[in-house]
Structure 1
Amino acid sequence: MGKSEEVYASLVRMIEKGELEAGVLVSESGLMERTGFGRTPVREAVQRLARDHMVRIHPSKGIEIPAISVEDQLKRLEVRRVMEVLAVTLACERSTRQEAEVMSALAITLDGHHDLDEYSETVRQTHELITVSARNEYLAEAMAPLQGLSRRFWLTHVLDVRHEIAVGSVHHRQILEAIAARDISKARESSIALNDYLVEFALSVINSRAPRQAARTV
């Protein structure tokens, strides 16, 4: 992994976890200080983040972490749903025996108890393993930002952490088990079920806002 890729991965995690706050402008030098890397890899990483819709660059002003909306999340999920069905199909067909064994082990890990950080990292590993196993770098490059933005939305809005981790773990575990067994039908079904859950979660965010908005209009 090159320096710019390391910076990119580090900044993605900071953005997903809210360590870089939405709506706040940060400077290139500030990101250099936060990551410990020099100007060139930070600049390259920021340019990539901008292409992935994770930051907005305002010349002479700074780098903005954009707010996330339910509407944008639902649009992302429309695309992610189709891509992930393709990814799990290819992973069933192309994964190696070793990758299938790692998936089985990761599925067992998802049965354990996790805090939010541990769960988030396990989900990240799950997505990365599936896309690597699909053996299509174009698909992997298209999926990574969609999944990262979706994770950020989920982490920003999760309220009942224990419940949501339990539900999400079941979906991810079923996907991994199906791919490890090379069961294409089950893998596709489980992938769609995960995306259905994410849509329901996004819609629940709208519903949770409604009482507060109504109260302000009274």
Structure 2
Amino acid sequence: MAGQTESVLNAILSGIDEGELNPGDPIDENALIARYGVSRTPLREALLRLEAMGLVLRQPRKGAVLFRPSLEEFLAILEVHARLEGQAAGLAARRISSAQKEALEKVVAACEAHARTHGDDDPDGYYALNLAFHKLVGEASGNPFLLEMIKMNARKLLAYYRARYRYAGAIAESAHEHREIAELILSGQADQAEALMVRHVQFDRVTVMDLLAALD
């Protein structure tokens, strides 16, 4: 039973991470039961866990839907998320290993190459590189609990970050900021790396309103 619950849970999380499920989407319980060959009990247990994570809302007589933030909820989550990402960058500047330095340089170079080659095209391709960059920084922090907190908060906003790269100039700006953050991390400038990462992750209120409208 526990294995079935984990299978359904991981399937829904993967759907969020890969953009197959978006804020406000209903969770089709019958489809999940049929797809994974599980009974309703482990499915409900998985939904309860997702609800505890703040990723799913269970509505009376309407079933479960993916969390969709209001403007104020978005801003509140973003405020916390930016600080967590910033803390990871600061810790990474002090703790990053030689192998992680090489990996970070490669992903930053890939971001820059994508921006040069594709411009504003292929935002989904760039978004995958963006995830790789932030994952590397989180891992380089050397704090698995912090990394898990970042992942949990990020899942509430992933669809909106993905949508952000459809805006003209957003990819080039992001790639440039990735290079600046990486240079600070690689040179051990912890305070500066933290501050720049916070600014990199944060959106202004108008942009948040635009992103909420784009996925409405």
Q: Which TM-score applies when normalising by structure 2?
A: 0.75
The offset of 1:188, in angstroms, is 1.8
Unaligned runs of 5+ in 2: 1-5
Within 2, Cα distance between the matches of 1:43 and 1:208? 31
Does residue 164 in structure 1 map to residue 170 in structure 2?
A: yes
> Which residue pairs with 1:204 in the alignment?
207
Identity of aligned residues (%): 25
Does residue 78 in structure 1 map to residue 79 in structure 2?
A: yes
One-letter identity of the residue aligned with 2:16: V
Within 2, Cα distance between the matches of 1:132 and 1:183? 17
> Which residue pairs with 1:105 in the alignment?
106
Within 1, Cα distance between the matches of 2:175 and 2:53? 26
One-letter identity of the residue aligned with 1:13: D
> Which residue pairs with 1:7 in the alignment?
11
- The 8 Å contact of residues 73 and 153 in structure 1, kept in 2 or not, is answered as no
Unaligned runs of 5+ in 1: 211-218
Distance 1:189 1:44, change over 3 A: same
Within 2, Cα distance between the matches of 1:44 and 1:209? 30
Within 1, Cα distance between the matches of 2:21 and 2:190? 39
The offset of 1:70, in angstroms, is 2.5
CA RMSD of aligned residues (A): 3.2
The offset of 1:173, in angstroms, is 2.9
Three-state SS of the structure 2 residue aligned to 1:138 is helix
Q: Which TM-score applies when normalising by structure 1?
A: 0.74
Three-state SS of the structure 1 residue aligned to 2:64 is strand
Q: String of CA shifts for 1:149-195, please: whole Å, max 9, x gaps.
A: 23322334x38534122222222332233223322233123213203
Q: After superposing the two structures, state which structure 1 stretch, 122-131 or 173-182, moved more.
A: 173-182
- State how 1:172-183 maps to structure 2 within 5 Å: 172-183=178-189
The offset of 1:46, in angstroms, is 3.7
Within 1, Cα distance between the matches of 2:80 and 2:129? 22
Three-state SS of the structure 1 residue aligned to 2:188 is coil
How many residue pairs match? The answer is 201
